[in-house]
A and B are shown apart, each in its own frame.
Chain A
C-alpha cells in the first residue's frame, strides 16, 4: 500500500501570540513548533494501514520553510519511511496555492492508494488543503474522519455532524482527512528517533503563485470587557440570575 501523508509545522497551541513587526504575521521568536496535532492522527493511520497490509510505503510531505525538516523527522521517527519538503519562504494564506503545489508533487510521485491529511492545521484553521488536493487529483475525499474501516478498496468512514454521525463510503484510491477519535497516535520511541536521522528526506524548492487572499493585518482579538465575581456559593445565584436577566439580557 502506497500512502502519502501531508503534514504541517505549526506553533504549539500553548503559544503566546505576538504579532511580528510587519503587522501581518506571527512573531516566532521563542515560539515552540510542533507537528500539527490532527496530522499526528494522519501519520498514525498511515502507519497502521501499512502494517496491516504487510507491505508498502509511507511518505510524508510538508510545505514550509527549512525548519519544517524537523517536523518531517518527527513523522519519520513515528515510523514513516521517507520525507519530502516543498521548501518555501512561508506557507501562503491562500490554501489553494498550497493545494496546487502539493497536488503537483503527489501527481509526480504517484499513484497513491491513500493520501492523508489532518482535518485542519491549528495555526490558520484553513481546513481546506486536503479536499482541494482531492479535487485537483480527481480523487474521492472524505473529511474529518473520526472512525475508519478499509476492506480491500472499500472505505467506510464516520464523520461527526451536528447532533449525528454520518457514515460515508467511497473506494480507494482516496483522500481522507483525520479527526480526533480515528486512532491514538504513537509517541516516537528512541529507536525510531535514531532511525529517523538516517531516513531519506528530499528538499525541493518551490515557487508559489500569489493567490487570492491578501493578509492586511493580524491583530489580537478585542479584549472581553472585564467580568466580575458575583459572589460565593449558592447565595450568589439570585444576583447571578438578576444580572443575566437585567444586565446581560440573556434569560
Chain B
C-alpha cells in the first residue's frame, strides 16, 4: 500500500500542536488515494505526545532518531525525510511553520519535485491531488493539481482542524545514521517564558497606531491575559516600523499570516497588507474610532469609539465570564 508521509514537529522533546493538523491533512489525502499515513517525528529521542498522533489518523508513527537531531538540523532532517519518502510515498505533507517552510523546499528539491506551499485545503478528485493556496496576499486563491510523485505540500498552520479518529496507529522508533550537515542551529533565544507566538495563538489581539504610544499596548496585554494564556498580542506594520513592537509580532504581508479562532484588531485601520495577514481568521472583531476604517469591512463585529474605554471594558467582561 502506498504511503502519505506526515512530517511532524517537536521542540525540546515535546510534539508541537501543528503536528496534529499535518496528520489530519495527510489523512484526508490518504483516504482519497487509498493510502496509509505514516507520521514521522525527527529528534534525538522519542517526543512526548507522539503517541497521540495515531488518534488523528496516523497508521504508523515512526520516530527517526539521531544524536544530530537534538535541535533542528536543516540538511540532516531533509536527507532523512527524503530518504523515507523514496520508499514509496505518494505525498509528503509538512507544516508551513517556521521549520516546515525551511524544510519542505529542501525535501522537494531532493525528490526533484515542486512544493505546493501554504496550502489551505486539499482534496482528491478522480485520483488527482488538488490543493488550494492563497496568492497575491490572499486576494486570490489558486486551485492547483499536483502531478509530482511524490507530491510535496506544506499546510498553513491553524487552518486544518485536527480530527480525532477512533483507530490508533502503531508506534515505532527507527534509529537513522545522520549527520547534522553543514548548517547548524547553535542556539535558540526564546522569547519571554510562556509567551505564545501570534502565528499559533488561538486568540490574537493586535494593536495599531490608534494605541498612540508603545506603553499603551499594556491594555492589549491585559486583555490577552484575561483570556488565560490562549491569546497573543500582535501589531500592525506601522507600529513595528515605528519601533513600538518587535517584528516577530507583526501581522500582515511583511509579517506573519495568522488564522486564529478570534482576531481582535484594535486601533488598526486595515490596510490591504494587514488584511493579507489575518483575513482567514475565523472571527474578526474591530475596535476603531473611525467608523469608515477598512477594517470594519472584514470584521464580523465592530465597535466604534475610543479604544481606551472599550478595551478595558472588554477585559473586565472577559474576566467576569472566565
Contacts and interface: CB of A to CB of B under 8 A. Distances in A.
Contact of A224 (B300, B304, B313, B318): B300
Q: Interface of chain B, helix or strand or loop or mixed? A: mixed
Nearest to B148: A212
Interface stretch (A44-52, A73-81, A92-100, A200-208): A92-100
A69 to B, nearest CB: 23
Contact of A221 (B105, B108, B279, B312): B279
Interface stretch (A55-63, A105-113, A189-197, A226-234): A226-234
B80 interface: no
Contacts of A218: 135, 140-143
Given A37-B254, A163-B195, A167-B188, A248 B283 contact: yes
Contacts of B190: 163-164
A131 interface: yes
Interface string B30-53: 000000000000000000000000
Interface string A1-35: 00000000001011111010000001000000000
A164 B102 contact: no
Interface stretch (B164-172, B209-217, B291-299): B291-299
Contacts of A230: 301-303
Q: How large is the interface on B (under 10, 10 to 19, 20 to 34, 35 or more residues)?
A: 35 or more
Contacts of B72: 166
A156 B116 CA distance: 29
Q: Interface of chain A, helix or strand or loop or mixed? A: mixed
Given A128-B104, A131-B105, A135-B109, A13 B306 contact: no
B192 to A, nearest CB: 9
A104 B299 CA distance: 47
Contact of A229 (B135, B144, B284, B304): B304
A236 B288 CA distance: 13
A38 B255 CA distance: 11
A132 B188 contact: no
Interface in A220-251: 220-221, 224-225, 227-234, 236-238, 240-241, 243-245, 248, 250-251
A244 B302 CA distance: 12
A127 B109 contact: no
B108 A128 contact: yes
A151 interface: no
A71 to B, nearest CB: 17
Contacts of B108: 95-96, 128, 132
A169 B302 contact: no
Contact of B186 (A143, A167, A233): A167
Contacts of A143: 101-102
Contact of B305 (A163, A221, A232, A245): A232
B115 A93 contact: no
Given A11-B136, A168-B184, A125 B130 contact: no
B261 interface: yes
Contacts of A219: 140-141, 143
Contacts of A88: none
Contacts of B177: none
B302 A229 contact: yes
Nearest to B110: A135
B146 interface: yes
A213 interface: yes
B193 to A, nearest CB: 10
A17 B301 contact: no
A82 interface: no
Interface in B13-40: none
B183 A170 contact: yes
B59 interface: no
Nearest to B281: A224
B247 A164 contact: no
Contacts of A214: 144-145, 147
Interface in B256-297: 261-262, 272-273, 276, 279, 282-285, 291, 296-297
A40 B183 CA distance: 24
Given A131-B106, A213-B116, A237-B310, A162 B143 contact: no
A125 B133 contact: yes
Interface string B106-132: 101110111111100000000000100
10 contacts: A11-B136, A26-B140, A96-B115, A99-B109, A142-B183, A161-B97, A163-B196, A167-B186, A168-B183, A232-B305
Interface of B: 72, 74-75, 78, 97-99, 101-102, 104-106, 108-110, 112-118, 130, 133-148, 151, 181-191, 195-197, 199-200, 203, 247-248, 253-255, 261-262, 272-273, 276, 279, 282-285, 291, 296-306, 309-310, 312-314, 317-318, 321
Given A124-B135, A213-B145, A234-B313, 14 more contacts: A95-B117, A128-B104, A160-B247, A168-B183, A212-B114, A213-B116, A214-B147, A217-B142, A228-B300, A230-B302, A231-B304, A237-B317, A248-B301, A250-B203
A-B CB proximity, top 9 nearest: A212-B148, A135-B109, A128-B105, A161-B98, A233-B305, A162-B197, A234-B313, A132-B109, A17-B139
